[in-house]
Amino acid sequence: MRTGFAFLAVAGFLLSCAAAQSTCNLDLLIKCQGDFNSFLGIPSIANWNNPELLRQNVEVYFQYPGVQGLPHVCRAFSRFKNCLGQGNYTACTSVPSIVASSIKPRPAYEFVKIYTQFHFTCGAGYNTFLNNDCMSATWQTQQQTLTNCRHQFDSDADRDPTNVCVYARIATSCYETQFLNGCRSSPDPGWWSCEYERLGTAIMYPQCALRCSLPSAGGIIGK
């Protein structure tokens, strides 16, 4: 009950900001999410009502090297943005705004987290991913570990919201470790995966102000 209350308190704060935002057209979101899912061949029920299923299906693509992997997801993402148009895209990927459209706070957060991460994977993080084949290999071998890092964070944050930033740091390190281990020839994938999770947690917990950085030369390099 207490944790539910803490989450609602955050959601309530976000809702109070929502007044200033334009609303997400749910019919349009349903259409565009449907297009996204059929483009990627993933189940139509994988949407904001089931963000875990959506994430699992999207992240499977990260396990494929080359054009059938991340670039395919990024094409789907780009189509999704075009389908919604700038105004609805912004509204439909904002937690307060979709909560105002009667999507529950927790799944809203998980849903927005996925799309926020696309901005990185298909933007600043794109080349790092494509230049390091070990990254798709790591997504493949460590998928369950990465899922566990994420679920551990969610349950710790619910149980002990006061220390959420401690847990967010643990989660980003948990991601980073998998890619530092899986990609020993470059520190970049470690940074990438820290950043991936950091951007995701920052949606709900921006106060944590975590940072990801490349290990300094002489740290991982030359080990």
Ligand X SMILES: *[C@@H]1O[C@H](CO)[C@@H](O)[C@H](O)[C@H]1NC(C)=O
Residues that bind ligand X (CB under 6 A): 22, 25, 28, 85, 87-88, 91
- Nearer Cβ to ligand X, position 90 or 140? 90
Percent composition of the chain: helix, strand, coil (DSSP 3-state, to 5): 75, 0, 25
- Nearer Cβ to ligand X, position 35 or 52? 35
- Nearer Cβ to ligand X, position 21 or 145? 21
In whole angstroms, the minimum distance from the beta carbon of 21 to ligand X comes to 9
In whole angstroms, the minimum distance from the beta carbon of 15 to ligand X comes to 18
Nearest residue relative to ligand X (C-beta): 87
Say which residue the tokens 């991982």 belong to.
Answer: 220
Say which residue the tokens 């820290």 belong to.
Answer: 194
> What is the C-alpha to C-alpha distance for residues 96 and 9, in angstroms, rounded to an integer?
13
In whole angstroms, the minimum distance from the beta carbon of 94 to ligand X comes to 11
If we measure between CA atoms, which residue out of 110, 108, 74, 75 comes closest to residue 92? Answer: 108
Label residue 45 exposed, middle or buried (CB < 10 Å: 0-12, 13-18, 19+).
exposed
- Nearer Cβ to ligand X, position 66 or 87? 87
In whole angstroms, the minimum distance from the beta carbon of 27 to ligand X comes to 8
